[in-house]
């Protein structure tokens, strides 16, 4: 389905040369001389590369119907990860390369979001924050409550993050999955 370049918005999915991309940012430009144009900054769902393109205001692009569905992580077998669609209850096998950017924070039975096109999962996204337990770290000392010093700690998914000195083994913490940083101690 064609969409006028002047009607684009953030999050819209487009077919760009056979690759499905979502718009991250756009800028309408009206120069003093010449015709108006639109600069698009898009992210490929297949490769995660950021693409920048400029289009004249009279051009049209191919819009893609992209559904966001809740999915549940079930288990993994080697290089295959198994997810269940929470709407259709279908099980999807996803190769390790497609989940490489989220696997560090993937907990058993976690609900995540999948971008689906023609019943095929193109991309998986974690919630912005997760609560997890510390499995390994050096013991904290009484009175260490400063926020400036950090130490490495391993969480239950196997990933290592930096936490404040007062965090101990078996403490539950909240993590920002977008950048992998400690947010706060969870209750």
What CATH number did the domain enclosing 31 receive? 2.30.30.30
**Residue 6 and residue 56 in one domain:** yes
**Residue 133 and residue 149 in one domain:** yes
What CATH number did the domain enclosing 165 receive? 2.40.50.140
- Domain final residue pick, 79, 95, 125: 125
**Residue 134 and residue 121 in one domain:** no
| pLDDT one-digit tens code per residue, 74-117 | 988 888 889 999 888 888 888 888 888 888 888 888 999 988 88
**Residue 112 and residue 135 in one domain:** no
**Residue 120 and residue 161 in one domain:** no
CA dihedral sign of residues 63, 68, 74, 75: positive
**Residue 112 and residue 146 in one domain:** no
**Residue 106 and residue 88 in one domain:** yes
Give the domain extent around 148.
129-185
Which residues of the chain have a pLDDT value below 70? 1, 140-148
**Residue 7 and residue 56 in one domain:** yes
Q: Is 139 exposed, middle or buried (0-12, 13-18, 19+ CB in 10 A)?
A: exposed
**Residue 59 and residue 14 in one domain:** yes
- Domain final residue pick, 13, 30, 63: 63
How many domains does the chain fold into? 3
Buried b (16+ CB within 10 A) or exposed e, 24-50: eebeeeeeeeeeebbebebebbeeeee
* 13-16 β-sheet, strand order: 2-4, 60-63, 13-16, 19-29, 37-44, 50-56
């Amino acid at each position: 389905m064609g969409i006028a370049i002047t009607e684009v918005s953030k999050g819209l999915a487009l077919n760009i040369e056979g690759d499905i991309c979502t718009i991250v940012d756009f800028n309408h430009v009206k120069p003093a001389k010449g015709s108006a144009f639109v600069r698009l900054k898009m992210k490929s769902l297949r490769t995660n590369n950021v693409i920048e393109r400029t289009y004249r205001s009279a051009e049209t692009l191919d819009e893609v119907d992209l559904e966001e569905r809740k999915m549940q992580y079930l288990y993994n077998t080697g290089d295959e990860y198994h997810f269940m669609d929470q709407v259709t209850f279908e099980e999807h096998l996803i190769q390790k390369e497609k989940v490489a950017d989220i696997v560090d924070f993937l907990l058993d039975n976690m609900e995540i979001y999948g971008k689906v096109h023609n019943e095929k999962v193109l991309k998986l996204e974690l919630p912005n924050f997760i609560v997890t337990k510390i499995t390994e770290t050096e013991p904290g000392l009484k009175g260490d409550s400063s926020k400036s010093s950090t130490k490495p700690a391993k969480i239950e998914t196997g990933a290592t993050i930096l936490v404040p000195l007062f965090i101990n083994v078996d403490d539950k913490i909240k993590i920002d999955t977008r950048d992998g940083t400690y947010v706060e101690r969870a209750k």
